[in-house]
Amino acid sequence: MIWLGTLVQGLMLGGLYALFAAGLSLVFGIMRLVNLAHGDLIVLAAYLILGIGTVTGLNPFAAALLAMPLMFALGWVLQTALLDRVLGEDILPPLLVTFGLSVVIQNGLLQAFTADSRKLPVGPIEAHSVALGPVTVGVMPLLTFASAVLVILALNRLFYRTALGRAFRATSDDAVTAQLMGIEPRRVFAMATGIALVVSTIAALYLGARANFDPSIGPARLLYAFEAVIIGGLGSLWGTLAGGIVIGVAQAFGAAVNPEWQNPRRPHRLRPHPSREAARPLPARE
199-244 pLDDT tens trace = 999 999 999 999 899 999 999 999 999 999 999 887 788 999 999 9
Residue among 60, 161, 46 nearest 109 (CA): 46
Could you tell me if 120 and 126 are in contact, meaning their C-beta atoms sit under 8 angstroms apart? Answer: no
CA of 59: how far to CAs of 52, 56, 94, in Å?
9, 9, 36
Give the rounded percent of residues in the chain with a pLDDT score beyond 70: 90
Query: Looking at this protein, which amino acid is placed at residue 280?
Result: R
Tell me what percent of the chain is helix, strand and coil, each rounded to the nearest 5. 75, 5, 20
**Rounded Cα–Cα distance for residues 178 and 173 (Å):** 8
141-181 confidence digits (pLDDT tens): 999 999 999 999 999 999 999 999 999 999 988 888 888 88
- Burial label, 34 (beta-carbon count in 10 A; 0-12, 13-18, 19+): middle
Task: Provide the 10 A C-beta neighbour count for residue 182.
Answer: 7
pLDDT at 279: 42
Q: Which CATH class is domain 2-260?
A: mainly alpha
Cα 269 to chain centroid, rounded: 30
Residue among 245, 258, 256 nearest 10 (CA): 245
CA of 222: how far to CAs of 1, 19, 183, in Å?
33, 11, 31
Which helix (H) or strand (E) covers residue 27, if one does?
helix 2-31
Please give the model's pTM, rounded to 2 decimal places.
0.87
